[in-house]
Amino acid sequence: MFARPLARAARAGRTSARRFASSSTSVAGSRLATRLTLAAAGAAVIAGTTYAFLPQAHADASRITKAGERIITLEELGKHWQAGSLWVAVDGKVYDVSEFANVHPGGLRILLENGGRDATKLFHAIHPPNTIKKYTKQVPCVGVIDPEELAVLASQRSAEDDRIETARRSLFGVDSVVGLSDFERYAKDLLPLHAWAYYSTGADTEGALAENTAIFRRIFFRPRIMRDVHDVDTSTEFLGVKSSIPVYVAPTARNGLGQPEGEVAVTRGAGATGIFQVLSHYASRSLDEVKAAAREGQQIGWQLYLNPDRERSREAIEDAVAAGAHSIWITADTVTLGKRETERRLNAEANPAPNGKPLSRERQRFGFSAHDTRMSWDDIAFVRKHAPGLPVIVKGVGAWEDVVLAYKYGADAVVLSNHGGRQLDFAQPPMKVLYDVNKNAPQVLHRKNFNIFLDGGVRTGTDVLKALCLGATAVGLGRPFIYAATGWGSDGVEKAVQLLEEEITIGMQLLGVTRVDQLGPQYLDTSKI
């Protein structure tokens, strides 16, 4: 009875392995593909065998525990996998998320992808503690997983678990990393496939993702010589915070998918090197946890996604203020989520729809229920009202005209960003927007009461210098710090900052400057932008 399902699982494993290995830069890519293929088939056999020998008496839905909780079999759980009848299991308890799915902060898709199964590992990787307790009234517990079946689940290891463990055992010390690209190259083998798909991919054809980095390769320096550059100072200050280099940690969600400590590891690395961090609204660790791990005086900004229910936004802002957030960073470019095609494809190949399954005709929901589609410039005042005295930054600006409007409506800063190429495909790269600001609105540059930040595509110290030459106050990096923490925890983050500081110092000396405020457009050739 398991022959056809097992064959499908093995085929899915081979497809996933081929796709995963084909894009790998690791020298062991082909060997990894073979291991994944064999392991996927083996895992399917194990899963089938496990199910076959589970006590069938447990199908009796009337069984209850001594505490009065209904006992639910994995077979019954597996029947509730679609919208309208959606259950997930976490830590042995089964929750009905059918109604909550429509307002789930992380969106409907991830619940559908994990409906009808045990999601404990994923849940703890992407959610702060006490998340379930926070939503108890909205997410009813309908029972507990059969204890015997739960024990079997706990004892199982997947082929992916084995692959990651093998990669970690062979990982060299962090001092052998010589550039930020190394962190990405080695993190790939350390991450679950779904995590790599989430972190690394962009929207649609990934044109915006590619151009974010490519534009830096078309901007050239005009170095000056015969200058005294013996003493170089890479430090700067923005939003009242001193920083060892003009770089900060940009907000990125779900850091816990690759690093058990999640954003806490990044906080420790940022604190050790004296740079600023912005925590994502959808971080794996809470602002309270991150602040507890921070050094004395270390400041943490907090990113905000405005909710259509402004009462929820008010509560979230006030909670962040109470937790000690330094500033509020409104993300404005996610009124709906971009179609992240490569991520979808990787996940679909790993978990394909069964052969012969009819077309799903359920109405597609293109919006994102937790994000407001009715945002306006007046929201700057709304945030400021509930976070009095804190800097308010607008993130996700993709046109120079909106930089001018943000300044007009009282924002303390903007972040030129296309969300790492994950939203609107072929949205202008942030460096092009910064170039346009120089041409069309130079009056908003270098103001004491208004900062311009940039994130997206920055991978070297010279990229940082190019942005500063065009008037950026500082630049944010997201993915490189995720990858650094995935492989080496806080030491990896610290190493990444060391590399950037070295590259910035060398670049400044070769340009002929000793302070970041000496940088300007006269040091660039932008004719090929």
Question: What domains are defined for the chain?
Answer: 60-151 (3.10.120.10), 209-334+371-525 (3.20.20.70)
**What is the residue type of 466?**
K
44-48, 232-236, 264-268, 269-273: lowest mean pLDDT where?
44-48
Is the confidence at residue 282, as pLDDT, over 90?
A: yes
| 42 vs 496, residue with greater confidence | 496
Percent of the chain at pLDDT exceeding 70: 87
Torsion angles phi and psi, residue 336, rounded to 5? -145, 160
Burial of 386 (0-12, 13-18, 19+ CB in 10 A): middle
> Under 8 Å CB-to-CB from 488, ≥6 apart: which residues?
171, 174, 177, 495
Q: Is 194 noted as a catalytic residue in this protein?
A: no
**What does the alpha-carbon distance between residue 245 and residue 274 come to, in Å, rounded to a whole number?**
8
- Among candidates 120, 45, 44, which has minimal Cα distance to 88? 120
pLDDT tier for residue 32 given thresholds of 50, 70 and 90: very low
CB 318 within 8 A of CB 390: no
Residues 464, 496 contacting (CB under 8 angstroms): no
Top-confidence residue, 242 or 64: 242
Is the predicted pLDDT of residue 44 greater than 70, yes or no?
Answer: no
Say if residue 129's pLDDT is above 50: yes
Where are the alpha helices (H) located in 286-429, listed in sequence order?
Answer: 287-293, 310-323, 341-350, 379-386, 400-408
Mean per-residue pLDDT of the chain = 88
Report the pLDDT value the prediction gives residue 255, as an integer from 0 to 100: 97
What distance in Å separates the CA atoms of residue 189 and residue 49, rounded to the nearest whole number?
A: 28
Residues 10, 12, 17, 22: is their CA dihedral positive or negative?
A: positive
Q: Is the pLDDT of residue 528 over 60?
A: yes
H-assigned helices in 201-285: 207-214, 263-273
- Buried b vs exposed e over 349-364: b needs ≥16 C-beta within 10 Å? bbeeeeeeeeeeeeee
Task: Considering the candidates 58, 80, 127, 419, report the single residue annotated as catalytic.
Answer: 419
174-219 pLDDT, tens digit each: 999 999 999 999 999 999 999 999 999 999 999 999 999 999 999 9
pLDDT given for residue 367 in this prediction: 53
Which of 334-348, 359-373, 441-455, 501-515 shows the lowest per-residue confidence on average (mean pLDDT)?
359-373
Report the sign of the C-alpha dihedral through residues 421, 422, 426, 431, in that order: negative
- Residue reference for tokens 């400590």: 261
| Dist CA 511 CA 518 (whole Å) | 10
pLDDT in tens, 440-467: 999 999 999 999 999 999 999 999 999 9
User: In this structure, what token pair is assigned to residue 427?
Assistant: 């949205």
Q: What is the pTM of this model?
A: 0.85
Per-residue pLDDT tens over the stretch 223-256: 999 999 999 999 999 999 999 999 999 999 999 9
User: What pLDDT shows up at residue 435?
Assistant: 98
Residue 131: pLDDT over 70: yes
Q: Quote the pLDDT of residue 451.
A: 98
pLDDT given for residue 9 in this prediction: 40
Q: How far is CA 453 from the centre of its chain?
A: 19
304-347 pLDDT per residue, tens: 999 999 999 999 999 999 999 999 999 999 999 999 999 999 98
**CA-to-CA distance for 96 and 265, rounded, in angstroms?**
33
Confidence at residue 18, expressed as pLDDT on a 0 to 100 scale: 40
